[in-house]
Amino acid sequence: MRSNRATMRAGVSMAATLPMIAGALALGIPAAHAAGSPARDTLKGSRPAWATAKADKGATSDSAQVKARVYLAGRDAAGLAAYAKAVSDPGSPLYGKYLGAKKAQARFGATKAQVAAVTSWLRSAGLTVTGVTPHYVAVSGDVAAAEKAFGTQLHNFAKGSKTYRAPARTASVPAGLKGAVLTVTGLDNAPHKATHDDELPPPDAVFKNSGPFSSYYGSNTASTLPDAYGHKIPYAVKGYTGTQLRAAYGAGTYTGKHVRIAITDAYASPTIAADAGRYASKNGDAPWKNGRLHQVLPDSYNSTDECGAAGWYGEETLDVEAVHAVAPNADVTYVGAASCSDDDLLDSLHKVVDHDLADIVSNSWGDTEASQTPDRAAAYDQVFQLGAVEGIGFYFSSGDDGDEVANSGTKQVDSPANSAWVTAVGGTSLAVGKGDTYQWETGWGTEKATLSADGKSWDGFPGAFTSGAGGGTSKTVAEPYYQKNVVPDALAKAENAAGNRVVPDIAAVADPNTGFLVGQTQTFPDGSQQYSEYRIGGTSLAAPVIAAVQALAQEARGGRALGFANPVIYARYGKRGVFHDVTDNPTGSGLAVARVDFANGLDAADGLLTSARTLGQDSSLSAAKGYDDVTGVGSPGHWYVRSYRRH
């Protein structure tokens, strides 16, 4: 399904889609071992954890079809990881010595001989090669051919209430290909798709916020509503704007000039240029300069119904408008994936790295760690490492379901935010006061209690948990070196005595009750499409805000790329004024806001819904003094951006 392409409006230019690398790599060099050779090299992580003997429902039909990707390890997979670490570590002599995209590919990418050998082996097993890129060889064929190629049987397994195909034992490749193949994906057919992490109504149907509002935190007290925590509470803000967020996070005079930010999501909003331009002019942001907003899009889209394509339009709108609001002179490139599947989202990340599209990449999407199998995690880590080598930093939202227990039934973190090679962005509730002054932040975690029928109390206050910043300890990713001596052992060793990765790394505003105002073209009940504005939140807001703050920091640093930022972020932890140390209940009196919503999302025709929303109540997670699993090291402080002048 093709998307409508937006045209130049309101001074915002939309660049044509950049071409993928043209031409197939040289083929025809015979494989060292044909498929079926007894000498095999196993591909760790290719059998998902849920494919257990107990769940086994028997062999999959030989004639069933398989679509898979064989990811290429490249010339020196270990060297890639080592170089990515060295150029990102301020204590290394190689720090900041990035390679260009072509040099990185030449040094670490697959050789023509490796590609040819892998391709020849796959064809010899009876699989059809459907695509060759610098990163993988795509194939299709029947189960019998896939089993021959990968030295395993494919069985059906129960996974929850459904049944999916997966390898009955770990897949392998001929020993002669050892070192050439990183992993294989697609042997299991369980859903592998991401969702956009935000508090967002469907943008294909209009959504508006009711009032009353606060224009800044605490400006309008709900004096006629019941007390909460023993005192009157303010109405939720109408939605912060760029001026307020820039002040809160110490932007100063920096605007992101000469810094390139990419945003990845699925699909593409057909009205993004007009919406972003109109929003900026209405809300005091600098006008978009000609040529500062680009889109890089696939030739076609797929799975539009399954992925809820229209819902991603609002995600793109939020990301683009938030980045521009905080870093108004940054160059912004939106890279849309063909669907919400991991394969297509990986392709969008590959475009950024292969074509050097950005210095900083904001990604407001993900899935639970349990849904992210090791084979795909390896493919993601490879592109993140290539980005680090080139001086590109990736920022991922940490999720909107707290510890995920209410959502998935299991305490876990989100992925790819759990990768040791990305900056995971957590969420806060933010109080910006009169005169755009920073007051405080809590960890984002909301409990909701509705107004009683007689209007004299909040039923069951503080109510049930509704949403909050994702975080916690990974069950699968080892503790990275940069978190040692900063992350408390109680968190790092919660899943493993040796220590595991803890999420997030840093945080910014995410609570939709102290959220951001966005403007978007939506469909009204009469069928007309009109621009309207509404408040939004989620770590989908926090990620582009942090990406934009990083653009300001890069400008302050003289334009030198920050690259993979975590080693520097953790090295700066504890320095005065660099971070806001975010804690729950910073005022000591309990915090909540009153919120009034249209029952139908549009107007008062069907009544109003009044509720109290607590701040700083994030499932089992908590924002504590020091590093915590809701906000990481905290949010950017007054001196965060300016401190990079000395870095």
Side chain identity at residue 629, one-letter code: D
Label residue 38 by pLDDT band (50, 70, 90).
low
Residue 206 confidence (pLDDT) above 90: no
Which strand (E) or helix (H) includes residue 502? strand 500-503
Complete DSSP assignment for 36-79 = T-S-EEE-TT-S-TT--TTTEEEEPPTTSEEEEEEEE--S-HHH
Label residue 23 by pLDDT band (50, 70, 90).
very low
Question: How far is it, in rounded angstroms, from Cα 151 to Cα 171?
Answer: 6
pLDDT in the model for residue 519: 96
Question: How far is it, in rounded angstroms, from Cα 541 to Cα 550?
Answer: 14
pLDDT in the model for residue 191: 82
Label residue 527 by pLDDT band (50, 70, 90).
confident
Residues 241-256, mean pLDDT to the nearest whole number: 98
- Which positions ≥6 away from 301 have C-beta within 8 Å? 1, 2, 3, 267, 309, 338, 339
Label residue 423 by pLDDT band (50, 70, 90).
very high
Angle between helices 342-354 and 101-108 (to 10 degrees): 110
CATH architecture for the domain at 196-646: 3-Layer(aba) Sandwich (3.40)
- Tell me which residue of 349, 340, 335, 339 sits closest to 371, measured CA to CA: 340
Note whether 513 and 236 are within 8 A (CB): yes
Model confidence pLDDT, tens digit, residues 49-104:
899 999 999 999 999 999 999 999 999 999 999 999 999 999 999 999 999 999 99
Instruction: State the chain's mean pLDDT as an integer.
Output: 91
Residues 550-566, mean pLDDT to the nearest whole number: 98
Query: Residues spanned by CATH 3.40.50.200 within the chain?
Result: 196-646
Residue 15 confidence (pLDDT) above 90: no
Residues 623-629, mean pLDDT to the nearest whole number: 98
pLDDT in the model for residue 400: 96
Side chain identity at residue 427, one-letter code: G
Label residue 621 by pLDDT band (50, 70, 90).
very high
pLDDT in the model for residue 193: 74
Side chain identity at residue 94, one-letter code: L
Q: Write out the two tokens for 7.
A: 């045209």
Note whether 90 and 149 are within 8 A (CB): no
SS3 call for 242: helix
- Tell me which residue of 496, 538, 548 sits closest to 516, measured CA to CA: 538
Residue 201 confidence (pLDDT) above 50: no
- Check residues 202 and 554 and name the one with the higher pLDDT: 554
Strands (DSSP E) found in 73-133: 128-132
